[in-house]
């Protein structure tokens, strides 16, 4: 800037000197020579400026090129970064370009649909009709689109976002979430709610019907009246048992549920629980034998007591004659508790079902004994929450043994 201004001053001074000289000495030859000199000077300066300009232009072009390269490199890097990130997302990612070609499909998509979509046109992915339909709609609509689809017993949530560059559609990015677990839990919850309503409806209808009869027929015979009252009591106790068990289950289902662990003399706890049920066994003429070694283990006392009571109660309920033996001993860092009966036994194909909520092999017998159908599901839940294990050995019409192991 400084040089530029100085050169102007020099030129101005030069012109002034030439003008003074021409005025003083009016010699045409000298004037002509001076004008020629000035023209040469201007020509040389012009060439210099031109060179400088083309040099500057070259530098600017180089700088621009460098910046362009840098931006390209950066966007390539972020694209690669996006691709590698999408491999670890745990969700499916599909990129469809403006020609309808799948530029990229990550490994989760491959896992979900067992098909490599990379470099295929979306029209060629008829392997999964619902996915094909979704992509075609998302691609043709050129707008945000969301849908849930089912493919081979799995549920997927699909979300497509269109990509625009200067208002020109460049394709779409599709994110796929596997929501099978969520849907299964939802279905399970719905079924469970329906089961609960059904379970409560039966005793409730019976209570309602009987109370109406009792109200209507005031002169009923005392014997009949007592029978009805007995049914009322039985049904209300059944409802209470179901509701109590439901409360326990719903508490244990909570994510933040924690056991109240203390050091417990497990042998003593088993004996206390067994003693409380001796009368029930005696009423059915069943012998209740205990052979339990004491050990101090860290458990939730109330919950383990409930496990023992549920198992012994079941053994009494499903045994018509013979005995029940409760054994407890320590083995390989585990405390093992066995409850054996000589009862009706369980078919091997039924064993995996008996831990399901409200599952009963003989509904009438279970209800008659006052069972809620939730006992074993609570037992399993409690044992697993303690880091333990439960196993069943059973022979139909000979008897059943429940074996529980709890870590010491």
Beta carbon nearer to ligand ADP, 135 or 242:
242
Q: Which of residues 80-99 bind ligand ADP (CB under 6 A)?
A: none
Stretch that binds ligand ADP, among 7-15, 28-36, 108-116, 341-349 (CB under 6 A): 341-349
As measured in angstroms, the least distance from the Cβ of 274 to ligand ADP is 15
Stretch that binds ligand ADP, among 66-74, 76-84, 283-291, 336-344 (CB under 6 A): 336-344
Q: Which of residues 342-381 bind ligand ADP (CB under 6 A)?
A: 343-344, 346, 354, 359-362, 366, 371-377
Beta carbon nearer to ligand ADP, 162 or 322:
322
For 16, half-sphere exposure in the C-beta direction (CA atoms, 13 angstrom radius) is: 6
Alpha carbon distance 39, 14 (integer Å): 12
As measured in angstroms, the least distance from the Cβ of 407 to ligand ADP is 24
Alpha carbon distance 12, 6 (integer Å): 10
Furthest C-alpha separation in the chain: 158
> Under the criterion CB under 6 A, does residue 390 sit at the interface with ligand ADP?
no
> Under the criterion CB under 6 A, does residue 203 sit at the interface with ligand ADP?
no
As measured in angstroms, the least distance from the Cβ of 309 to ligand ADP is 11
DSSP symbol at 286: -
Alpha carbon distance 160, 141 (integer Å): 10
Alpha carbon distance 158, 145 (integer Å): 8
Burial class (CB in 10 A: 0-12, 13-18, 19+), 150: exposed
> Under the criterion CB under 6 A, does residue 314 sit at the interface with ligand ADP?
yes
Alpha carbon distance 5, 238 (integer Å): 106
Alpha carbon distance 357, 6 (integer Å): 98
As measured in angstroms, the least distance from the Cβ of 313 to ligand ADP is 8
Sites of contact with ligand ADP (CB under 6 A): 314-315, 318, 341, 343-344, 346, 354, 359-362, 366, 371-377, 400
């Amino acid at each position: 800037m400084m040089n530029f201004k100085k050169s102007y001053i020099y030129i101005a001074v030069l012109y002034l000197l030439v003008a003074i000289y021409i005025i003083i000495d009016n010699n045409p030859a000298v004037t002509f020579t001076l004008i020629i000199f000035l023209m040469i000077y201007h020509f040389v300066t012009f060439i210099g400026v031109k060179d400088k300009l083309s040099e500057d232009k070259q530098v600017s072009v180089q700088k621009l090129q460098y910046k362009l390269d840098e931006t390209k490199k950066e966007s390539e890097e972020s694209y690669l970064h996006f691709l590698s990130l999408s491999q670890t997302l745990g969700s499916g990612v599909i990129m469809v370009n403006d020609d309808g070609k799948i530029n990229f499909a990550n490994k989760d998509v491959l896992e979900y649909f067992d098909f490599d979509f990379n470099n295929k046109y979306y029209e060629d992915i008829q392997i999964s009709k619902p996915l094909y339909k979704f992509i075609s709609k998302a691609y043709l609509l050129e707008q945000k689109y969301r849908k849930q689809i089912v493919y081979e017993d799995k549920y997927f949530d699909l979300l497509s976002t269109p990509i625009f560059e200067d208002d020109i559609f460049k394709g779409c990015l599709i994110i796929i979430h596997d929501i099978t677990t969520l849907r299964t839990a939802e279905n399970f919850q719905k079924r469970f709610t329906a089961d609960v309503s059904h379970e409560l409806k039966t005793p409730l209808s019976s209570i309602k019907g009987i109370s109406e009869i009792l109200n209507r027929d005031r002169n009923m015979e005392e014997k009949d009246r007592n029978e009805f009252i007995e049914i009322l009591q039985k049904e209300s106790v059944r409802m209470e048992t179901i509701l109590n068990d439901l409360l326990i289950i719903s508490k244990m289902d909570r994510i933040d549920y924690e056991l109240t662990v203390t050091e417990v003399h497990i042998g003593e706890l088993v004996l206390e629980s067994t003693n409380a049920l001796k009368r029930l066994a005696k009423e059915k003429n069943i012998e209740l034998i205990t052979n339990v070694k004491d050990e101090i283990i860290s458990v939730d006392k109330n919950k383990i007591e409930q496990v023992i009571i549920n198992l012994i109660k079941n053994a009494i309920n499903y045994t018509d004659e013979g005995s029940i033996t409760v054994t407890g001993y320590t083995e390989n860092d585990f405390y093992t508790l066995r409850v054996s009966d000589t009862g009706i036994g369980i078919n091997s194909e039924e064993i995996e079902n008996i831990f399901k909520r409200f599952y009963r092999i003989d509904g009438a017998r279970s209800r008659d004994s006052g069972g809620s159908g939730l006992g074993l599901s609570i037992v399993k839940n409690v044992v697993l929450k303690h880091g333990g294990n439960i196993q069943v050995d059973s022979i139909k019409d000979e008897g059943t043994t429940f074996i529980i192991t709890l870590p010491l």
